[in-house]
Amino acid sequence: MQTIVVKFGGPAIATPEKIVQVAKKVIKEQAKGINLVVVVSSMTSIRRDLRQFAAEITDEPSKREMDALISTGAQMTSSLLALAIQEQGGKAVSFSGWQAGIQTNETHRNARIDFVDIERIEQHFEFGEIVVVSGFQGISEAGNITTLGKGGSETSAVALAIALNAERVDIFSMVEGIFTADPQIVESARKLPEISYDEMLEFANLGTQILHPRSVELAKKFNMPIVVLSNEQDVEGTLIKGDVSMEKNLLVRGVAYESDIIRLTIGYDSYETASLAEVFSVLAEHEINVDIIVQAVIDGVKPTISFTISKEEFAEALRVLESSKLSLGFSFADFEVGLAKVSIVGSAMASNPGVAARMFARLGREHIPVKMVSTSEIKVSVVVPQEEMVRAANTLHDEFNLAMKEISIS
């Protein structure tokens, strides 16, 4: 019998009334004659309350106890959904992450899944039950509850699907699928019927909030299809898979953006004291993510290293750099706020030179200043002033004809 894993989170399960609606949806899905696993995250309000309760008790909670505490939010949601399915005439059982067999390493707050023991889930399939799993969590070899970090529920869903040899993973969200750009800032944005893992990874890493990169990486590794669907509307979503089956007429598949980027620059008195490895090793030790990196080494000018970080990590990055100033050997540090990153993505860019030049030329004609650039085979990112982010995204969407319907040329 075919197995499908579906994931619900955020607004889809925000209230008991919405949980009942999800129950009706999954009962209807199971009636198609499939084995069904439903992965849920915690209600946002519950997760927020749990964090607030901890903050009122201590300023420095242990990671182990925070994992044990925060995991109860998803467990509450999974139990409520199982009750709702039963009340609607279906058969269901709820599992915490460890009951579902999700084994992780010992890294609290950001654990990695080692393996999934599916024996218990398969036993309940035999009873005709929908298995509702608390996402975002697992258990370590030492028997400690762990959480998977940002995007953990999506990662749970993909890992379970791989272990169960499922047909696919359906991610239900507030959007209809993956668009060529955010429809909220680009009115002509168009939904893509399908997208490759590599393209989706770039979108996820470039600020698109629909899927977390870890879940896409895992799906790509094991070739597990993901479909992004609307929880509100019964319409076709976007299929994320390996290579897109047919070549398209568009070199660029979409535009992504990320606001509140900060550029940090550190300078050295001489090239001999400048070390990229030492700087980024120190930042990595403190789990500070660095994005675009530019090193300037010019005769007669003091060398500098510039890199971008998110607004949320700015204060910690400054603290780490200041405390490590002597060991790193830099003479000054500066920063620039009020920046944003705008990117174009498309797997066809790898075999079509000149895309970046076309991008820069159009931004130049529009007098949108480019402060930093980063490229890969299938994406080009530029850092622009924050106030130009929306205009840059719309400009590039227009430049690469992304509102135009794709044409098969196979």
Query: What are the tens digits of pLDDT across the range 174-184?
Result: 889 999 999 99
**Confidence label for 410 from pLDDT (cuts 50, 70 and 90):** very low
- The stretch 371-383 carries a mean pLDDT of 93
- Domain for residue 226, yes or no? no
pLDDT of 272 above 90: no
- Domain for residue 42, yes or no? yes
- Domain for residue 314, yes or no? yes
Q: Which of 173, 198, 225 is where one domain is finished?
A: 173
- Domain for residue 168, yes or no? yes
Q: What are phi and psi of 199, to 5 degrees?
A: -65, -40
pLDDT of 407 above 80: no
What b/e sequence results for 118-157 when a residue is b if at least 16 CB atoms lie within 10 Å of its CB, and e otherwise? beebeebbeeebbbbbbbbbbbbeeebbbbbbebbbbbbb
Q: Which of 158, 173, 188 is where one domain is finished?
A: 173
Q: What is the CATH number of the domain that holds 283?
A: 3.30.2130.10
Number of alpha carbons in the 13 Å side-chain half-sphere of residue 76: 16
Residue 289 and residue 155 share a domain:
no
pLDDT digits (tens, 9 = 90+) for 214-244: 999 999 999 999 999 999 888 999 999 997 7
pLDDT digits (tens, 9 = 90+) for 88-97: 999 999 999 9
Residue span of the structural domain in which 59 resides: 3-173
Burial of 282 by CB count in 10 Å (0-12 exposed, 13-18 middle, 19+ buried)? middle
- pLDDT of res. 6: 98
Residue 25 and residue 166 share a domain:
yes
Residue 15 and residue 139 share a domain:
yes
- pLDDT of res. 248: 53
- Domain for residue 180, yes or no? no
- pLDDT of res. 301: 81
Residue 167 and residue 26 share a domain:
yes
Residue 358 and residue 260 share a domain:
yes
H or E element that contains 203 = helix 197-205
**Confidence label for 245 from pLDDT (cuts 50, 70 and 90):** low
- Domain for residue 198, yes or no? no
> What percentage of the chain carries pLDDT values higher than 90?
79
Residue 21 and residue 167 share a domain:
yes
Q: What is the CATH number of the domain that holds 142?
A: 3.40.1160.10
Tally of domains in the chain: 2
Choose from 102-106, 172-176, 244-248 the range with maximum mean pLDDT: 102-106
